[in-house]
Structure 1
Amino acid sequence: MTAAAEMIITNAKVLTMDEARPRAEAVAFGGGRILAVGSRAEVEALAAPGVRVVDAGGRTLLPGFVESHLHLVLGGNELSQLQLGGVSGFDELARLFRAYAAKNPGLPLLMAQGAAYEILGRPVTRQDLDRVIADRPIAMMAPDHHTVWANTAALQAAGLLHGAAMPAGHVVVMGADGTATGELLEFEAFSPVLALTGDLHLQMGIATGGEPSPWPDAAQRAKDKEKVAAGLAHCAMHGITSMVNMDGNRYTCVLLKEMEAEGRLTARVKVPFHFKPHMELSELDRASAMAAEFTGEWVTSGFVKMFMDGVVDSRTAYMLHDYPGTTERGAPLFEHARFKEICQEISRRDLQIAVHAIGDGAVRQTIDGYEAAGRPDLRHRIEHIELIDRADVPRLGALGITASVQPPHPPGAMDFPMSTMEHVFHPHRWKDAYLTRTLAEHGAPLAFASDWPVTDVSVMRGIQAALTRVPYDGCQDERVDLMAVLRAYTAGGAWAAHLEGLTGMLKPGLAADLVLIDGDIEAIPPQNLGQTGITLTIAGGRVTHDAENLVGPSG
């Protein structure tokens, strides 16, 4: 029996993302599913006693946003930490850190987020941070989450002051005096500092591919769920109803399933198994087990995440050519032939693969692995693709590889400074950096995201960045049009996550995942989109954000 309508949103400019019926005026839903999409007259005819009718006032109604690459638990955890985005200069850094320290006298580590690589105009040292605060451990994370700088107290407490053995690609940078400089490159190097907070178990998946041991008890899980809830609420404010969480493990899934049972899960979350370079192929049994255990509409797994390289700012991204002014190229985290073997085994298990690949060397090696796997039906995807060799551009479309790219990431497009381009990319290669339109024109499906908390999770700011990005000097325009941008944040993201049978479009039978924009998105000047609010977010028929109390409490 068809569910009865519970709510009708009418007088809207509905962009359905359904090619069979791209536009409409009203949507009705009930029982967590969309029941009707059509004209006002067609849909309002379903109104009956008890049905809530919401007048959208001509605003744009879209499918709920699919955030294709974020870090939900890390982002939720960081909301309470010191935020240094946009901060520069020692005096301002010291003022903010000292104020944060005064407000948090009991914290074992004073942790800051969003510290620009050029925050002091030169490499940051532990001595710089000792001048900020010397008598308590303090540390700050770069926006890309691949570098941490720590003061002497933090390095001592973490056992890193005199260096430590690290896996390839992870570095405790050492000074001429035989002690650590304070700069820590990649996760294994800075995890001992993060462990001082007592919540490193939340990052076990991305750090080691492992699970917390001992397993957190009910009291610890309750604390952890508060952090997840903070992240979910933050995402709901931005219209997000589905997300591909690019870190996690079985523990993450268990937390989310408990929240679902408690009625606290306000978005659909897909969680990976992390495969690390040191692992044997037999570890993939755990990935298969996660895929089999978590199969509902709200918490799923079914994909394997890997890192092929690091990031450009620390020159740990793997390049085919030397970085400007150096003989460095970075290095791949997996050996070429072994990576092919891993991709074949993951594909044999019918699991999807998502690989972080930033440098053109890493991108090529990832494509080679997917080509060896020969499974375009699994929709393997590459995350970031900040630089790609022109010879590899057509290979994505030809092999059915999704370009999972982030409109806020290109320097100059949103919050990241243009100086990054000058430091790490040769000017003649700028035309091969942060491609979007070129990849799409060569047949690569697009999925858009923020990589929160690396950048602001705001989808509206991301849409603005995608539409207003200025071409680099002498380079082609890499923007796609508004409808392509919206598709990459909705139906494209859902398809890339194998969720197209559930969400991503407004069409009868699919989940009632909707977002109402505070305005007509086609009439708002692109440069103003980032200031445009989200009026209403609905996930599975349940109101998760209601900025104007249009609906009131629900579900």
Structure 2
Amino acid sequence: MGSLVIANGVPFIPDARIPGRTAIGIRDGVIAAIGEIADVRAEVGPGAEELDAGGGLVTPGFVDAHVHLGVGAVDALRCDLAGAASIDEIDTRIRAFAAEHGDAWVVGGGWDPTLFPAAGPRADHLDALVGDRPALLLDADHHAAWANTAALERAGLDVRTPDPEDGRIERDVAGRPSGTLRDGAAQLVARLLPQPRTEDVARGILRLSRDLLAAGITGWQEAALGAYGGFPDFTDAYLRLLTTGGLEGRATGAQWVPRDLTEEGIEAFVAATVERAARLTAAGLPSATAKLMLDGIVETRTAHLLEPYCGFEDRGRGYFSPALTTRLVAALNAAGIAVHVHAIGDAAVRDALDAFAAVPTADRRAVRNHIAHIQLIHADDVPRFAALGVTANAQPFWACATALARQSTLPLIGPDRGDELYVFGSLSRSGADLAMGSDWPVSTFDPWQGIHVAVTRRPPGEADAESLGPGESLPLAVAIDAYTRGSAVLLGVGSGVLRVGERADLAIANRDPFTGPEDAIHETRTAATVLGGTVVSS
């Protein structure tokens, strides 16, 4: 392994920012020196490669604590509706895909739910685009699906079909399925989908992992290893890449907890999870984490809330009972398995915290539990994160008043509750450990876009937009630290700090965002990425 000198950079060291431009020396994959260029060159020795940072901020490598590369890889093989700005554009893409692909099913997704009525798109609309071939298209959030008549019939869905416990079937005035399926209801059709080839998924994950590296992301967690929502288990695709040696970056995985798990099945599930974690970790994919999805999302009224949705009597629903959740979490932690919880609503967050609180302290402290998304948290529950040692795994790019938030989220929870969304500032001030991720492909995986929103609470490029809960913004240094050190420690992929003796996973920005206005943070880009002392993207 060679040596490297990064010259003319601004090291990100939160507690002791180094003024001016500084050099970082790397030898054998480890940071050997930080300081004046002459001193660093002398420490590293002759023959080192040199990289000019051009005055840009040098941070530890970003670590995405919640991402779905497998989903993105499969999406790329299907009908891509992401970014379509109108129903006409959606229709054009679907027709073109159906004409070009003679598969038995038309499968894809990425449609923007704000383009359709609140009840979602209809089956007869899709019938006109694809004819009598069954079709299923997920929305941009992957929490709703659009099915045509052939798909509904093939799945046996009709007026007599009850809503599943973890979802809802949208219906017409006669009670017949209208074409939109919310959360678990989508699985009633998705279970019938043909699955892509492992080698195709592996190629997609490899390509996307290189995109992550180009964005400065040196580590990540594949947030759901296991068949769910019409997607295959991505484990075999990762193992194929690890076997061939093609995968770069420090990948970890969270093993999916199936929605049909019962209390009677907990013991067997935990045993299988422990065995699988050992096998995958030995293969190079640390996976001593279980992914527990406790609710859906606000926009489909499947997030679990403490108070009813505005204009409705329901509070959403929890996908697992509190009793099962408590027993499962305790059993997993006792076995050395951390729990990565999806919780959007304040009731789901409370259920998760209650479950963690019931775990014996020694078991809980021996693992790294975290709750992702945390869109709504009751004020009484904010200090419990720090008290219980539960990391707040934030997806910061959502914490602004997007069109979806204005049209769907705020009307459903009450427009006066905007300041209660994504209380990252309150969590930080309470002493909670913060980590960050993207939930890509639901939002961009570019860390600088998420950091921009965490600091400004406004969409990138919209300096005049109203901030969403400005009191919950984070200082820039805190946001960067969460996306680097916080996530690295959470996933166990390094220290996430710039310090002599630490592994040299670094991201070099094209500028120093500390020297410009907050509204320009999103203009920052990763110019080069260093993984284990080697420049892997520049």
TM-score (ref. length: structure 2): 0.88
Q: Percent identity?
A: 29
1:273 to 247, 250, 255: 255
What SS is found at the alignment partner of 1:412?
A: coil
Instruction: Determine whether 1:94 maps to 2:91.
Output: yes
Q: Which one has the bigger helix percentage? A: 2
Instruction: Determine whether 1:306 maps to 2:292.
Output: yes
242-251 vs 302-311, greater mean Cα deviation = 242-251
Aligned to 1:460: 448
Task: Write out per-residue CA displacement over residues 294-342 of structure 1, whole angstroms, 9 at most, x where no aligned residue.
Answer: 3369520111110111111110111111100000111212222232222
1:408 to 379, 397, 408: 397
Amino acid at match of 1:7: L
Instruction: Determine whether 1:366 maps to 2:358.
Output: no
Aligned to 1:515: 507
Aligned to 1:113: 109
Instruction: Give the superposition deviation at 1:31.
Output: 3.3
1:40 to 34, 37, 41: 37
> Tell me, which stretches of 5 or more residues in structure 1 are unaligned?
200-219, 547-555
Aligned to 1:10: 7
Distance 1:132 1:119, change over 3 A: farther
1:393 to 382, 390, 397: 382
Aligned to 2:462: none
Instruction: Give the superposition deviation at 1:291.
Output: 2.7
Instruction: Determine whether 1:198 maps to 2:195.
Output: yes
| Contact 1:166/1:188 (8 A) holds in 2 | yes
What SS is found at the alignment partner of 1:29?
A: strand
Distance 1:22 1:106, change over 3 A: farther
For residues 219-238 of structure 1, what are the structure 2 equivalents within 5 Å? 220-238=197-215
Instruction: Give the superposition deviation at 1:190.
Output: 3.4
| Contact 2:506/2:531 (8 A) holds in 1 | yes
Amino acid at match of 2:287: S
Instruction: Give the superposition deviation at 1:61.
Output: 1.3
Mapped partners of 1:44, 1:437: distance in 2: 41
> Tell me, which stretches of 5 or more residues in structure 2 are unaligned?
228-232, 459-464
| Contact 1:63/1:490 (8 A) holds in 2 | yes
| Contact 1:70/1:449 (8 A) holds in 2 | yes
Aligned to 1:527: 519
Mapped partners of 1:162, 1:473: distance in 2: 44
Mapped partners of 1:474, 1:313: distance in 2: 17
2:486 to 492, 502, 508: 492
Aligned to 2:475: 481
What SS is found at the alignment partner of 2:519?
A: helix
Task: Write out per-residue CA displacement over residues 354-391 of structure 1, whole angstroms, 9 at most, x where no aligned residue.
Answer: 11111111111111000011324423111111111111
Instruction: Give the superposition deviation at 1:455.
Output: 0.9
Aligned to 2:55: 58
2:139 to 133, 137, 142: 142
Instruction: Determine whether 1:293 maps to 2:290.
Output: no
Aligned to 1:74: 71
Instruction: Give the superposition deviation at 1:163.
Output: 7.0
TM-score (ref. length: structure 1): 0.85
Aligned to 2:461: none
| Contact 2:167/2:182 (8 A) holds in 1 | yes
| Contact 2:255/2:290 (8 A) holds in 1 | yes
Task: Write out per-residue CA displacement over residues 42-61 of structure 1, whole angstroms, 9 at most, x where no aligned residue.
Answer: 21224545421111221221
295-304 vs 364-373, greater mean Cα deviation = 295-304
What is the alpha-carbon root mean square deviation over aligned residues? 2.8
Distance 1:63 1:350, change over 3 A: same
Instruction: Determine whether 1:544 maps to 2:536.
Output: yes
Distance 1:387 1:369, change over 3 A: same
| Contact 2:295/2:304 (8 A) holds in 1 | yes
What SS is found at the alignment partner of 1:13?
A: strand
Amino acid at match of 1:504: G
| Contact 2:397/2:454 (8 A) holds in 1 | yes
Instruction: Determine whether 1:186 maps to 2:183.
Output: yes
Amino acid at match of 2:252: K
Instruction: Give the superposition deviation at 1:474.
Output: 9.4
Aligned to 1:241: 218
Distance 1:319 1:405, change over 3 A: same
Aligned to 2:342: 356
2:324 to 325, 338, 343: 338
Mapped partners of 1:363, 1:108: distance in 2: 41
